[in-house]
Each structure stands twice: as C-alpha cells, then as structure tokens.
Amino acid sequence: MKNTSRYPYGGTPRDAVPPRPQPRKKKKRRRSVLGTLFLLLFLLILLLIGLASAGVAWYVVKISADLPTMVDVANPKSSVASVLYDRNDKVIARLFIENRTPLPLHRISPWLVKAVLAAEDSSFYQHGGIRIGSIMRALWIDIVEKGKVQGASTITQQLARNLFLSQERSIARKAKEIIIAMRMEKLYSKDKLLELYLNTINFGRGAWGAETAARTYFGKPAAELDIAQSSILAGLIANPGRYNPLSNLDNAKNRQNYVLGRMEALGWIDAAQRKQAYEEKLEFRKLANRIEEFNRAPYFVSHLLFNDLLPKYGKDTVYSGGLKIYTTLDIDLQIKAQEAVQSLKAMGALVCMTSETGEVLALVGGKDFKTSKFNRATQAYRQPGSSFKPIVYAAALEENIMPGDHFMDAPITFANRGGRGRSWSPKNSSGQYAGEVTLQKALTSSYNTVAVRVAAYIGTDPVVTMARNMGIESRYLPNDLSVALGAASVTPLEMAVAFNCFNNGGKRVVPLTIREIRGPNDELLESREPQALQAMKPETAYALRSMLMDVVRAGTGTRASVPKVETFGKTGTSNDFIDAWFVGGTPGLTAAVYVGKDDHTSMGRGSVGGIAAAPAWKTFMEYAVKKQNTPAKFDPPPAWVETEKVSICRTTGYRAASGCPGVPLYLPIGKAPSARCPLHGGGYADAEEDLTGPRLFLIEQDNDLVPEQPEYPSAPQQQTPSIDPENIPDAPAPYRQDPSPAEEIESRYQKLLKEYGIE
C-alpha cells in the first residue's frame, strides 16, 4: 500500500522519529606534516635553550674559578707608580710598570669626563655594566668572520679588563670581563667606577690615567684640561699608538673631530664650542715616562733598588704598589755631583754624607748610567793609596803615639825571610827623603816610608782593626805592611764613611739613604734612624782632623781648600797613576771623590789625587756648604772630651815658638809638649827636660840611621821586635787583581733585572 503520508515512515509527526541509527566507526584525524615539524622544532629549540643554559652555567662555574673574588673586586689593586723623593720632597724618580697618579673624580676636568663618555660609553650612567645588544652584535660578527671577539665593551667592562684580566682577545676573556663588570656594578657607584677607569686607562707614551696623560701631553694637571685637550686625550683611548698626536697629528685630529661630534650630538657642547675646540692650536709637551728617563739620580736609585727595596718588598710592590719613598738625597747636590764627575779626567765617583747622621746627600757612580750601570761609588774596589794613611795614623794615636813624635823618612828595605819572594823596598813617590820628621809633617807631605814604619812599629793588626771599626768592610784588606800605603781595595762609599769618623768625634755612622717609606694611602710602613758606633777615642778623632786640616792648609791637598771654610782631607794616588782620590770634609759634611779608568791603565804621569780629584771635590763642596748652609768652622770638642788645642812646630813637634811653622792641633790632655821649640826661640834645656816632648820611634831597620848629633832633642824609644815575615808583602805588583771588573758588574746588573722581572 502506497504511503501517502508526508512523513517518510508514515503515521503522525510523533511517529516520524526514525529508528536509531547504528553507530559508525570513527576515523583517525591525520596530523598535518607542517604542524608536526613546527612541534619538533619547538621542542628542539627548548632543548637547545636548556642545553645552552646548562652550558652557560657550566662555563660560568668553570671560569669562575679563575675570577677574582668579591673581596678582590671590592679592593682593586691597580698598578700605581712608586715615587722616590729627596730630603726636600722633590721627586727624584718614578718606579713603575704603568706610570699613573690616581686622582679623585672631582679633580679631573669635567670636559675630559664628558669627552671620554662620548667617545667610549655615552650610556654609561644608564646601563648595568654591559650592553646586551652590542655584545650579541659583536659576537655575531666574530662568528661570521671567524675571528676573535670584537670590542663593544662598556667602560665598566674595560675597567674590569684593566684591573683583573689580560688584554687577550678571546671569548673566555670576554665572558670573564662581563661577569666581573656585573659584579663591579653591584659594588660601586657609577661615579666611583668612572673615577677608577679614568685613573687606570692607557693614554699611550707610558701615560696611564688622566693625571699622567695630562702632564705627559700638555704639561698641566688633569683638572686644567679644556675641551680641545680633553677631546684629544679621549680619542687616544681607542688606539693610543694610532691616534698619538706627537707621531700622527692627522689621525689624532680626525679622532678628535669624531669625539667632538659625539659631544655635540649628546648636547654636551654646541656647534660653536665644537668648532672652536677643533681649531684651537694645541701646544704639546714631551714628558719622559720611561723609567730610565724619569730618573734624576740613576746610580743612587739603582743602589737602593738592588740593595734594599727589591729584596725587602719585591718587584710588584716596588713598581706597582704606589710606595712613597723619602730618601736622604738632596737632588740639587746630586746634580752638582754629577757635574763634578763629568769634569774628571777619567771615569769616577763622588759620595757626600752628613757627618752626624750619615745621611747620603749625593751619590754618583759614573758619567753615564745608560752607557754603564757599573756603580763606581759602591761597586768599584780601588786602591786608596795615601788616602788610607790617616787610618794608619789613627791606629798609632790609639797606641799613644802623638802627632809631634818622630819617625824616620828614609829608604828602607824589608828582607823577605819567609822565602816567598824578593825583599820589599817602599819608596816616596818624589824619590826624596826628609830624614827624621814629625808624624804631622809626614802626614802633611804624605811620606810613604813613615807610614810603613808606623805600621811596622805598632803592627798591622791594629791598623786593620781600626779600618774595620771605621767602616772599611771590604774583603780586600791585606794584613801586611802594604796596607800602610793603601794597597787595599775599597769603595768610595767606604772611604767616605771612614773619614766621616774624623768629622763627628770618632763615630762610625752607617750610611743612611732612606728616611721613611709610606704606602699608597700614606700609611707609614717604616721609618729609619741614624745608627752610630764609637770607632775610636774622641781625642783621636779630633787630633786626626786637626792634622788633616794641615794637609789642606800646607800639604798635598791645597787644591781642595774651600775658601773661608775650615777643610780637612787627604789625597791618594795608587801606583802608576792608576787611581786618584781626595777624601775629606767641612763642618757637617764629608765627601769622597775617586777618579780612574775601568781597565786600570794609567791616567798619565802627574795624575795624582791633589790634581786629578781635589779640584772636583772643592767645586762640589763649595756649592754644598752654601746649599746646606753649614758652619764655616768646626765646633770645638765638648767639655767631656779631654783635649786641648795646642800649636806645635811642624818641624820639631814642640810647642810652637814665635818663629815656628806652627800647626794648631787638638791633643789629649797631658800629652802635649810643654817646652817651646828650641829651633825657633825656645830653650834646649827646657826641651830636654820636657817629659811630654816629642819621641823618636825606631824600627829594626833604622839602627844605622840615627844621627850622633841630632839637630834638636828627641828621646829614642825601644825598638820594635823583629817584624813578622808574614807582614812583609810579596813585592806588590802595580795593581792587585781587580775584585770588581766593570764588565762583570754590568752582567750581574742584567741578571738582577731578569731575576726581578724588570725590563
């Protein structure tokens, strides 16, 4: 039957609900390939980020072991030059690896501050120590170019590198630089970071820091720099060699123009200021910044370095620790001493010290330190010749022999009974002999045979002991009769110390070269005081000084006489005119001048101490007494020193009569003669009865020399025992083997430089 209903199944609308269909089987949805790829890429990126983060964390931990601690970062130690000052606080020398003088930020020109910020890091006050964008850009360039990490360093990063890292260009160094920079930003204010930066950055030509750079290029302090000068200096930071205005002004001006342009763009100057600064005519200076150039007393400084400062403090502290070393030197006297040494006929040395404190006022060891580092003042062991005789006579006075006592000046021969060589016959340099003479006359005229007889009479042990007590520390001091003629090898400094005993009442004063040393913050590290020991009786010292004044007044040292100033001293000449000396002093000052060739060849006949050395000594001392404002006359002995001033006859040794060639001497109380000189107006009977009158001292070889009818009374003494053969020298050669050859000293100097890592 045909269904006529409009519902497909007939019936009413209620019956129109179709039967429940059978559930269909679901089809799997296919994921698109593109979506899958994106998902995998996303997961890969997450994995790479995780690995990168882990790698970065591992790398940071690894390199952190080599990084400075937070304590180190909080206490940065930049290389600061140590400065040596003279006694008047004038700069003698600067010792540095990086020559810098730190300043607080407010003492640096604001124009230099702005110029540096404009050139190096204009957003310095806005960033946190690094600029991520700049670092990533530089890193990408390096990866693409397969090179090493480019710049892009902020001021803080540059500071971190300068203070704690090397200048190596590598990813590792860059990473360390970033970490340190971020730490520094947490510890310091921006102003402090900028101050540290301006005090440590390299401006070329040995100038580190703003202050040194300002003085190096413009001869003015950093506080006084104008816009033009500041922009020149700021331009140097990027490449000090390329933009050095002294060697390449065009490059420097181009860089200056860039810096000025940046300053204008930042609104720190206007167009007119930029134009004026660029067109300003700059006057450059050329200040020495190398150690060997910025050193006004190189022999003195090198002596301090290798004998005192470097062994005690080490290279890093001395050259980078910012020490302030206050010395005893007077730079004006040092310059005058250098001029005096330049005037010498050959190479030479000069040492000057104060008599009471031993402060070294001048020390010159040669004519040109650049040519020869050999310090002849402290390292040249040379024969002092007759300048050693006062030490012999000091030993004699200690043995109760007086200046008026007599010895024979005559030819003499000592037979060598030890079988070690031929006999020894010392002679006077003039070839002439005076016969019986006073000790005073023998010293004034520098008679060799008398000095030998004195040493033979008292023995050489007291002479050597006296020399040691007076400051002769040399190992090359023979204990035989040749020592009486200065056949030792001693340094000019030792001779100055020894003669200083005659200038201060018999005290051996240790040479003082440093008064105090302070640290970089002006903290006192050490203070040094004079050290003195009594070397001889004060009576002996005063007597010898008065005897030596006659050497200058009427003997071999007349060319050393300082006008209107009491002067004492002694000349010295070694065999064949190889070495020449003058050693002596004025009130408050003692000095030694040595002259001779390094190869020990003769300077020529006539090159004796009184001619080759004494004039230079006099020229220097004339200046020194004025500069130091020392007295013109020596103070008399203090009351507790039992001496009396007596004028004795230079010929007889008795008290001087009206016609005598008198010599004013300080003699121990009770030892001065009471009778007047019988040759010049005194009575012979009084002279014969004078129990403290002159005595004649004889040695074994003098048996046949005493005249039967002496011109004036003298009392012969008991002869000395036979001379020990060991005290008779083996016919000394003109010059003993040199214990300090100049070439060896030069080699040792270079070894010391390497040992301490000093270039």
Please name the residue ranges forming H helices in 69-209: 70-74, 110-120, 132-145, 155-164, 171-187, 190-200
**Higher-confidence position of 65 and 675:** 675
User: Which pLDDT score, from 0 to 100, does residue 16 have?
Assistant: 44
**Higher-confidence position of 110 and 138:** 110
Q: How confident is the model at residue 707 (pLDDT cuts 50, 70, 90)?
A: low
Q: Would you mind telling me the total number of residues written for the chain in this entry?
A: 759
HSE, side-chain direction, 13 A CA sphere, residue 145: 10
In this structure, which amino acid lies at residue 474? S
Write out the DSSP string of 590-601. EEEEEEE-TT--
Q: What angle do CA 326, 87, 618 make, to 5 degrees?
A: 135
Cα distance between residue 471 and residue 502, in whole Å: 12
Inter-residue contact 195 to 104 (CB < 8 Å): yes
Percent helix, percent strand, percent coil in the chain, to nearest 5: 40, 15, 45
Over the stretch 504-552, which tens digit does the pLDDT of each residue have? 999 999 999 999 999 988 999 999 999 999 999 999 999 999 999 999 9
Closest to 727 measured CA to CA, from 453, 398, 491: 453
Question: Residue 645 belongs to what H/E stretch?
Answer: strand 643-649
Over the stretch 564-580, which tens digit does the pLDDT of each residue have? 999 999 999 998 999 99
User: Which pLDDT score, from 0 to 100, does residue 150 have?
Assistant: 46
From 1-15, 176-190, 303-317, the region with the lowest mean pLDDT: 1-15
The Cβ of residue 655 has, within 10 Å, a number of other Cβ atoms equal to 23
Please name the residue ranges forming H helices in 438-485: 439-445, 448-458, 460-470
> Which residue matches tokens 């200048």?
167
User: Which pLDDT score, from 0 to 100, does residue 383 have?
Assistant: 95
The three-class DSSP label of residue 45 is helix
Cα distance between residue 759 and residue 319, in whole Å: 12
Closest to 141 measured CA to CA, from 132, 153, 154, 150: 150
Residue 7 pLDDT greater than 50, yes or no: no
Alpha carbon 37 to its chain centroid, in Å, reads 76
**Higher-confidence position of 600 and 758:** 600
Q: What angle do CA 691, 696, 698 make, to 5 degrees?
A: 140
Residue 592 pLDDT greater than 60, yes or no: yes
| Mean pLDDT across the chain | 86
Over the stretch 599-639, which tens digit does the pLDDT of each residue have? 999 999 989 999 999 999 999 999 999 999 999 999 999 98
Over the stretch 452-467, which tens digit does the pLDDT of each residue have? 999 999 999 999 999 9
Cα distance between residue 255 and residue 116, in whole Å: 12
Q: How confident is the model at residue 151 (pLDDT cuts 50, 70, 90)?
A: low
Over the stretch 491-500, which tens digit does the pLDDT of each residue have? 999 999 999 9
Residue 10 pLDDT greater than 50, yes or no: no
Give the DSSP letter of residue 309.
I
Residue 393 pLDDT greater than 50, yes or no: yes
Q: How confident is the model at residue 21 (pLDDT cuts 50, 70, 90)?
A: low
Q: How confident is the model at residue 13 (pLDDT cuts 50, 70, 90)?
A: very low
Domain boundaries defined on the chain = 98-279
- Strands 695-696 and 715-716: what pairing? parallel
User: Which pLDDT score, from 0 to 100, does residue 534 have?
Assistant: 97
Over the stretch 67-86, which tens digit does the pLDDT of each residue have? 666 666 666 666 788 999 99
Closest to 427 measured CA to CA, from 445, 391, 452, 406: 452
Question: Residue 754 belongs to what H/E stretch?
Answer: helix 742-755
Fold of 98-279: Penicillin binding protein transpeptidase fold (1.10.3810)
To the nearest 10°, the Cα dihedral for 11, 17, 18, 20? -140
Please name the residue ranges forming H helices in 629-718: 684-689
Q: What is the mean pLDDT of residues 444-449?
A: 96
User: Which pLDDT score, from 0 to 100, does residue 3 have?
Assistant: 46
Over the stretch 153-205, which tens digit does the pLDDT of each residue have? 899 988 888 887 766 666 776 777 888 888 889 889 999 999 999 998 999 88
What are the two backbone dihedrals, phi and then psi, of residue 125, each rounded to the nearest 5 degrees?
A: -80, -5
| Residue 719 token pair | 């002869």
Residue 479 pLDDT greater than 80, yes or no: yes
Q: Which long-range contacts (CB under 8 A, 24 or more apart) does 671-678 make?
A: 671/402, 672/644, 672/646, 672/648, 673/404, 673/646, 673/648, 677/648, 677/649, 677/651, 677/652, 677/712, 678/652, 678/654, 678/712, 678/713
Inter-residue contact 292 to 370 (CB < 8 Å): yes
Residue 123 pLDDT greater than 80, yes or no: yes
Residue 260 pLDDT greater than 60, yes or no: yes
Inter-residue contact 672 to 644 (CB < 8 Å): yes
Q: Which residues contact 135 (CB under 8 A, 6 or more apart)?
A: 152, 174, 178
End-to-end, the C-alpha distance of the chain in Å comes to: 125
Strand partners, 649: 662
Rama region for 757: left / alpha / beta (φ>0; ψ in -120 to 50; rest): left
